Structure 1
């Protein structure tokens, strides 16, 4: 267990952990498992904020470190009225990529911090534009294995970066953790970043 931890990250995402290390945070990773189903009639912004807050709350009650704030986050891709989480299978991943091909979509990332009764929440929205993708290219991308556990079926920081022709907003948010908003929460809880870990 990490002894020098200023907070707990309630996520198994290596990308979120990498982003926190990038800005010099000291944290302990303790993933939580919860139902991430979309509620009937739930809007994308409501959904991503609800899941981030639920992760942080669940992490607080299950935390191996007492009285240490818990950070939860969630990211989703939105194309028109549709919310894209992680694809369930090849068919769904290819369908997502087809929908994103040659269009601009939204990526919403929410981050929440909980300590007892205190909880704060922030959300970032980024516009991402894809060039047109061929069916063969989408199939080849699926075969790499990268889309399987990524919201929207792609990773901007990985092989899927070749699809992106433009981005308006936070790059780190598309990766999975909006750093500016995360630092707002850290500051509110008197947690330092740019530390030597």
Structure 2
């Protein structure tokens, strides 16, 4: 039970890149472009949903203020969590202050009235989007940190085993006046293996 729990916790931790992980700490930011881009677009989707929650307020930045803020904030906080976790409080404070300014700017002038039924439906859909994005992202990261990690380990072990087999069982090519031989051992994912060899003696094999 404890072993299964430790394995599960290791998978969970691997799904959340942090500065305490040697791999993520040494990985250059340039190689994290895809990961950080994913955080930005997921955050931007959450920003659009948050914009829908404010039907009773004026739109700020043509509707792009919240998506850009949330996407940029999520990306910056994730990068700081991987490389410079001590910057997280400062970045979080900047994001909160910017959000407060945006919220204040959107409530300066009264927005056009919205029917109650429309407002209730949009509010329900926006909350559903936020919840779905949150759970979906965590499930994908958890899968990548558990099954993905196990797959990488298996592929590494198979690659090493195939390399050892290729070294210990080299390709054989032999030709004389009577015979022409060619033998090659092809590694597989199954247990066991083949040993090929040829011995020439008195003109025979």
Give the shorter-chain TM-score range.
under 0.3
TM-score, normalised with respect to structure 1:
0.24
Q: Which has the larger radius of gyration?
A: 2
> Whose strand proportion is higher, 1 or 2?
1
TM-score, normalised with respect to structure 2:
0.24
